[in-house]
Chains A and B, each alone.
Chain A
Amino acid sequence: MRGKHVLIVGGGVAGLSAAIELADLDIRVELNEKSNFLGGHAIGYACKAIDNTCVKCGACMVEEKLQRAVSHPNINISVGSQTQGISKNGRFSASVRRQALCIDPEKCTNCGLCSNRCPVNGAIIKSFSKNNHPFYAINIAKCLYFKDRSCSICCDECPEAAIDLDNSPSEYTIEADAVLIAAGFLPFNPRNKPYGYGRFKNVVTALELENMLKRTGRVKKPSDDLLPQNVAFIQCVGSRDAKLNHLWCSKVCCGSALRMARLIKDRQPETEVTFFYIDVQTFGKDFEQFYREAREDIRMIRAIPADIYETENKALKVNFVNHPLHQTREEIFDLVVLSVGITPGEDIGNLSRIFKLDTDQFGFLKSAGEDATVSSNGVFTAGAVRGPMSIAESIASAGSAAWKIVKYMGGRDLKFD
């Protein structure tokens, strides 16, 4: 389909997968990612294989999609880019704002000197994938140069002169025949839950644990960098919660948490793992066996803790109701992992306004682009922007959306030359 252009908003696994599918059909893809790196949340997920055996979490597929997308001649990628507005006159014309790109990908060799020398924690951020080039990015929100121009160490020390802190944002227009929104989700922020997240160092989210495993291969306590003696996972934080009107199951947390729990037991057998849950959800094709084995080395407690207090030595006192005995119990854990749910993305309001898409009762773009009458306007959705979805489901969702786009752009006359 030469001459056809598609704008994809979002460079997570759904956006990348759809981009590859379309690009393979000789369609030109403009892929816009608002953050500095491609791969979405899932690029930070760790491989959770245990006993040298794949557990089908799908994390490696994100890496593969990313690798294929960045090397595809028909895909043009812009990171740090956001759509500001769109008009349609036959084709779409999208105005895009691209934030300052301080590190020149042509010059950067990923030596990491900038990151090592930077005096501010978090001002130079690292990617999770080698397929994000540059591997480093400057976080404008924290960089001192952007605050008061008081520091330019990275720029001065870069041996390749790849850093230009005076680079300014740019605005440009993209013409496209169809648009795919694959803007992903927002992990639930558990700050307002009575679990001390943000205040107690050893309370982390499951997403942060995934990232820790990916970067270091180990689970350690953030307070002292030592291996924890006992870890508790708390499920359904921000999901299945009537008070928040989050009347949905996030679908992926049981799989992610139980796989990580088993990984901890596999790599650090001395660590005790406790799993607090409401209902364990089925995931994977060999769930029956996986779950049976999980119950052998993980303590399963069917209760959601009421609250958590920090002890003097940074351990965590977890209160929960022990049902068979009907007692309120208190147990000490070194590390508590909150399985935070999938919630609608923070810019979903903007997207629904710009692209004239309706959200469902919970704020996802579920119904958009579903039937022929709606999709005939040329805007489609894929991935977790539609609702909770696993990596595998996001890939399938992307393929299905790509196919709808192909049909919309004139599937019958597909010309492959």
Chain B
Amino acid sequence: MIKFLGDSLNHQTLILGNGPCAVAAAESLLAAGENIIIATKDDTCNLNGSVDSASLQILRQMRCLSCKGSVGNFKIHGIQKNKPVAIDAGCIIIAEEDQRTPNFSLYGLNASSNVKTLSEMKTLLSSPSNEKNILSEIKKVIFLTGLVKESTPIIAKEVMLSSLLLQKDFGLQTYILTKNLKVAGDGLESLYRDTKNAGTIYTKFTDDVPDIHQGEEDNIRIDFYDEITSKNFRLTPDMTVVDETVVPSRYAADLVKIFNIEKDVGGFVQADNVHRYPVLTNRKGILVAGPSKSVMDVDTQRIDAGNAALAVKGLSAEKTNAKAEKAYVHEERCIRCLTCYRLCPYDAITLNTRVAVVPDACERCGICAAHCPMYAVRMADLEPEVISELMGTGGGIDRQQSFVPFIVAFCCRRSAAQARDLAVCMGYHLPQGLKMVEVPCSGGLSYDHIFKALENNADGVMVLTCHKGNCHSEQGNIYADQTVAQIRDMFSRIGFEKERLLIQTLASNMGTEFARIAGGFEETIATLGPSKLRKNCKKPITKARKDESAK
């Protein structure tokens, strides 16, 4: 009988944030009949008040402190106006805002009355007319953007829009000094043309940067060599506008820890991993959308909101995979060393009175099973006997026959196994003695599997994993790499050829490369001859021996 995850789900969705993305996701889900709790850091909530109150709860000034449980059953503790608050939710959408760091220091400038940030300029331009008087007293405005650090289309758009307004509405002369003008956004090339037509002067730098000097009374002097005209210029602007770097909010760093989710190099709340497109995290039921995950414009935030809402609906429609396929803990064997807890990329191990796997959160990578020192954590299809059955046993070798190396290739289900099938389709001739064993993740491979292959007369073993940064289980391929390195080291010590064990990375669409790797490995093994650990090899004929006897 198929059990639906929806049955056991708490049907409440907690949305963290108060920006366009959080609001769009909340409105969307409410319209689709979901129960929503929206928690905002500040005292306001931008969600329209007319929405159905029965299915909506708003928590203002609420900050999360901890989160327990897993998909369908999260228990979040937080603090709201100095009082503790507890929330039960089936899923969580993190949709917090980003923040901006002014780039004054990158240009050697200090903030002053005539040195402003881009945000300050935007505020000034949208303020009441009397406050804009300052703009009628000046003539020249310079924008500095992307000169030291590469910028983004979001910032470029704001720079160009501000510049256009200053040129058109205030008759000012504006200059935009940049390296690479970022126009990879909707309508930005047209906007760029508009600013040029309105009189904005662009100076683009390739290798050099302008010499920026902030003198007495904060007068700014900018000297540079213009690549197009080959001339030196000096600009003395009345106002200088400095761009900003978009960074994750400080709260984002807290959320990463509280929810135990991955972040990217810049600290945004989502690993830089293609398997997480567009709104997934390593934890089932925790979604991330909008500017907490990367720099994005409002249109993209709405797209993200739709994806998050869809993911919530998808979760309640999801069929629970048969529990038997998930990892489980053999209670009598478990010594509570917490290796599984530490290594699980999906946070699917719970520690209550005993260690257990949460089937709904388990993604079946097998990393826990491979690394449990007590064989307490197991996964049915990774049991060495099952794997042994899959790989079969290499046939006997006798002197009369030419040597066909028996090669076992452990292939990641998502990458190398696909690449192998593609290689076959493309018409490549794969080694005759190649036997592929598909595994959910190479991180689920242990010593047992590799030794089992040797026990089954394998002359060579390949472990073919995803590329670094492309592992669905984030670190699975790294663990496989470590396991292989340790075994190869062991081989060297005991005088067994370490070349018989190979690890390589592949993507699902690399059929040609699969064929090349497999062919190359077969050659290596053919040269080495049959494995010494073969149980049925009477007298191994190595290529070297053959050559010898030929002499």
Binding site for B on A (CB under 8 A): 21, 24-26, 45-47, 49, 52-54, 56, 58-64, 67, 110, 112, 126-130, 135, 214-217, 239-240, 242, 247-249, 251, 254, 279-289, 291, 300, 302, 323-324, 326, 366, 387, 392, 395-397, 399-404, 406-407, 411-414, 416
- Min CB–CB distance A72 → chain B (angstroms): 13
Stretch at the interface among B71-79, B212-220, B309-317, B376-384: B309-317
User: Are A26 and B183 in touch, CB under 8 angstroms?
Assistant: no
- Min CB–CB distance A361 → chain B (angstroms): 8
Residues of B with C-beta under 8 A to A402: 310
Which residue of the partner chain A has the closest CB to B225? A324
User: Are B307 and A288 in touch, CB under 8 angstroms?
Assistant: no
Given A61-B277, A130-B425, A407-B32, decide whether A400 and B508 contact each other with a Cβ distance below 8 A: no
Which residue of the partner chain B has the closest CB to A241? B189
User: Are A135 and B425 in touch, CB under 8 angstroms?
Assistant: yes
Given A25-B313, A54-B467, A400-B302, decide whether A281 and B184 contact each other with a Cβ distance below 8 A: yes
**A-facing residues in B193-221 (Cβ within 8 Å):** 193, 204, 206
**A-facing residues in B472-522 (Cβ within 8 Å):** 505, 507-513, 516
User: Are A414 and B32 in touch, CB under 8 angstroms?
Assistant: yes
Stretch at the interface among B111-119, B415-423, B445-453: B415-423
Distance in angstroms between the alpha carbons of A254 and B469 in the assembled complex: 21
User: Are A46 and B509 in touch, CB under 8 angstroms?
Assistant: yes
The interface bits of chain B over 277-315 (1 if a CB of A lies within 8 angstroms of the residue's CB, else 0) are: 111000000000000001000001011101101110110
- Min CB–CB distance B466 → chain A (angstroms): 8
Given A130-B421, A285-B264, A416-B6, decide whether A403 and B309 contact each other with a Cβ distance below 8 A: yes
- Judged by a CB distance under 8 angstroms, whether B149 is at the interface is yes
Which residue of the partner chain A has the closest CB to B272? A285
Residues of A with C-beta under 8 A to B266: 285
Which residue of the partner chain B has the closest CB to A392? B277
Distance in angstroms between the alpha carbons of A135 and B204 in the assembled complex: 48
- Min CB–CB distance A148 → chain B (angstroms): 29
Q: Which 7 A-B pairs have the closest CB atoms?
A: A400-B306, A54-B470, A47-B507, A411-B32, A399-B307, A396-B278, A281-B184
User: Are B181 and A279 in touch, CB under 8 angstroms?
Assistant: yes
Residues of A with C-beta under 8 A to B549: none
B279, B508, B509 interface centre (most CB from chain A within 10 Å):
B509
Residues of B with C-beta under 8 A to A217: 510, 512-513, 516
Distance in angstroms between the alpha carbons of A411 and B149 in the assembled complex: 44
CB contact between B189 and one of A248, A283, A323 (< 8 Å): that residue: A248
- Min CB–CB distance A207 → chain B (angstroms): 15
Distance in angstroms between the alpha carbons of A251 and B183 in the assembled complex: 8
**A-facing residues in B310-352 (Cβ within 8 Å):** 310-311, 313-314, 316-318
Distance in angstroms between the alpha carbons of A282 and B181 in the assembled complex: 10
Given A242-B193, A279-B180, decide whether A406 and B277 contact each other with a Cβ distance below 8 A: no
Which residue of the partner chain B has the closest CB to A39? B509
User: Are A406 and B32 in touch, CB under 8 angstroms?
Assistant: yes
B6, B189, B206 interface centre (most CB from chain A within 10 Å):
B189
User: Are B467 and A25 in touch, CB under 8 angstroms?
Assistant: no
CB contact between B469 and one of A54, A62, A283, A302 (< 8 Å): that residue: A54
- Min CB–CB distance B381 → chain A (angstroms): 19
Residues of B with C-beta under 8 A to A413: 33
User: Are B188 and A56 in touch, CB under 8 angstroms?
Assistant: no
Given A323-B228, A406-B310, decide whether A56 and B274 contact each other with a Cβ distance below 8 A: yes
User: Are A47 and B510 in touch, CB under 8 angstroms?
Assistant: yes
- Judged by a CB distance under 8 angstroms, whether B406 is at the interface is no
- Min CB–CB distance A263 → chain B (angstroms): 12
The interface bits of chain B over 238-265 (1 if a CB of A lies within 8 angstroms of the residue's CB, else 0) are: 0000000000000000000000000011
User: Are B507 and A324 in touch, CB under 8 angstroms?
Assistant: no
Given A130-B424, A399-B310, A406-B313, decide whether A392 and B33 contact each other with a Cβ distance below 8 A: no
User: Are B182 and A21 in touch, CB under 8 angstroms?
Assistant: no
Could you list 20 further interchain pairs (A-B, Cβ under 8 angstroms) beyond the known A45-B509, A54-B470, A279-B182?
A: A24-B317, A54-B507, A63-B509, A126-B426, A127-B425, A128-B509, A248-B190, A279-B181, A279-B204, A282-B152, A282-B182, A285-B265, A288-B149, A302-B227, A323-B227, A323-B228, A396-B300, A400-B302, A411-B31, A414-B33
Q: Jot down 11 A-B pairs with beta carbons below 8 A, ordered by A.
A: A49-B505, A112-B427, A249-B185, A279-B180, A284-B272, A302-B204, A323-B227, A400-B304, A403-B309, A411-B31, A414-B313
User: Are A60 and B317 in touch, CB under 8 angstroms?
Assistant: no
Distance in angstroms between the alpha carbons of A282 and B149 in the assembled complex: 11
User: Are A21 and B512 in touch, CB under 8 angstroms?
Assistant: no
Which residue of the partner chain A has the closest CB to B6? A416
B186, B266, B300, B469 interface centre (most CB from chain A within 10 Å):
B186
Residues of A with C-beta under 8 A to B316: 416
- Judged by a CB distance under 8 angstroms, whether B153 is at the interface is yes
User: Are B33 and A411 in touch, CB under 8 angstroms?
Assistant: yes
- Min CB–CB distance A42 → chain B (angstroms): 10
- Judged by a CB distance under 8 angstroms, whether B150 is at the interface is yes
B149, B273, B414, B470 interface centre (most CB from chain A within 10 Å):
B470
Distance in angstroms between the alpha carbons of A25 and B499 in the assembled complex: 48
Residues of B with C-beta under 8 A to A47: 467, 507, 509-510
User: Are A396 and B277 in touch, CB under 8 angstroms?
Assistant: yes
Residues of A with C-beta under 8 A to B4: 416
CB contact between B303 and one of A56, A284, A396 (< 8 Å): that residue: A396
Distance in angstroms between the alpha carbons of A301 and B415 in the assembled complex: 36
User: Are A392 and B512 in touch, CB under 8 angstroms?
Assistant: no
- Judged by a CB distance under 8 angstroms, whether B410 is at the interface is no
CB contact between A58 and one of B31, B274, B304, B421 (< 8 Å): that residue: B274
- Min CB–CB distance A353 → chain B (angstroms): 24
Residues of A with C-beta under 8 A to B510: 47, 217
CB contact between A392 and one of B151, B264, B278 (< 8 Å): that residue: B278
Given A64-B508, A416-B4, decide whether A249 and B189 contact each other with a Cβ distance below 8 A: yes
Which residue of the partner chain A has the closest CB to B471? A54
Given A53-B468, A217-B516, A404-B306, decide whether A282 and B184 contact each other with a Cβ distance below 8 A: yes
User: Are A130 and B31 in touch, CB under 8 angstroms?
Assistant: no
Distance in angstroms between the alpha carbons of A413 and B31 in the assembled complex: 10
Which residue of the partner chain B has the closest CB to A366? B186
Which residue of the partner chain A has the closest CB to B418? A63
